[in-house]
Structure 1
Amino acid sequence: RLQGALRRGDWYKTKEILLKGVEWILGEIKASGLRGRGGA
């Protein structure tokens, strides 16, 4: 399944995002207003 996703280009920005760092990623999530569903 992962190989299929890679062939489709589903993960093409992942490395770029990870290189921005944890603080940037968390800041983006907080700014987005994304909310969990409590495991529902």
Structure 2
Amino acid sequence: MKPQHLTGEEIALTIADFADTARNAVAAGFDGLELHGANG
């Protein structure tokens, strides 16, 4: 699959996905999370 730029809507959805993941982690009892931002 050829890489492509994200649209504004896709960026907003990605941010919302990270927020949902953080809320789920807190609900599951985690007290923190780490975002790995290398290689990309």
- TM bin, normalised by shorter chain, reads under 0.3
Greater helix proportion: 1
Q: Name the structure, 1 or 2, with higher relative contact order (CA <8 Å, separation 6+).
A: 2
